[in-house]
Chains A and B, each alone.
Chain A
Amino acid sequence: NAGVTQTPKFRVLKTGQSMTLLCAQDMNHEYMYWYRQDPGMGLRLIHYSVGEGTTAKGEVPDGYNVSRLKKQNFLLGLESAAPSQTSVYFCASRTQGLGTEAFFGQGTRLTVV
């Protein structure tokens, strides 16, 4: 049972380059999220989706775009990477309902030089 899978696990980008992070879940969850984790800052929500074809901004959306063309996939794009986007990115998913658990991927460590 794969759960939530993130690709890639590590990446180094040069300033100004673009890339897409892929998140795939096999649990048929409606909700998916992208967070970034920085030292001393905890997890901050970048964008999220409550269903196929819908996305919404989170706490720190600037410099990122997302798409949810298929229910099982949630893509996070960086159009022009900046050193401030150096972080560990986590994808999570959960189903609807009271107090449902969020399942997290293993994370993507991104360094922008």
Chain B
Amino acid sequence: GNSVTQMEGPVTLSEEAFLTINCTYTATGYPSLFWYVQYPGEGLQLLLKATKADDKGSNKGFEATYRKETTSFHLEKGSVQVSDSAVYFCALSRNSGNTPLVFGKGTRLSVIA
């Protein structure tokens, strides 16, 4: 079946530190991959996505590259800010059929000044 595994949190970083949140997936075929972010008290919102191998998604200083050979989609940011404190979810959707998004368990990030 399809599944997503992401690193356990919580992650606590100082402002301007480098961030990596690991995500690996299992899926048949070639899924689309997503990172969603959830700020306190809110719903999830799309942060970035990639729909085919070697694509790089980027937004707000965050980046992730779709690596088919390692079935990974790690999230990175070079310099985090306090406002990046949130829960980050990796997700996939298959590109055939009507299958829903499958989410990882989420990684809570806290950035301290």
Binding site for B on A (CB under 8 A): 4, 31, 33, 35, 40-43, 45, 48, 50, 58, 90, 92, 94, 98-99, 101-102, 104-107
Contacts and interface: CB of A to CB of B under 8 A. Distances in A.
B95 A104 contact: no
Nearest to A54: B98
Contacts of A98: 32, 51, 95
B44 A90 contact: yes
B43 A107 contact: yes
B89 interface: yes
Contact of A99 (B32, B98, B104): B32
Given A42-B103, A50-B98, A104 B44 contact: yes
Given A98-B51, A99-B49, A104-B43, A40 B100 contact: no
A41 B101 CA distance: 15
B12 interface: no
A43 B104 CA distance: 7
* Interface footprint category on B: 20 to 34
B93 A99 contact: yes
A33 B45 contact: no
Interface of B: 32, 34, 42-46, 49-51, 89, 93, 95, 98, 100-106
B49 A43 contact: no
A106 B45 CA distance: 10
11 contacts: A35-B103, A43-B103, A45-B100, A48-B100, A50-B98, A58-B100, A98-B51, A99-B34, A99-B50, A99-B51, A107-B42
B64 to A, nearest CB: 13
B51 to A, nearest CB: 4
Nearest to A3: B43
Task: Please name the 3 residue pairs, one residue from A and one from B, whose CB atoms are nearest each other, closest first.
Answer: A99-B32, A42-B105, A104-B43
Given A42-B89, A90-B44, A102 B95 contact: no
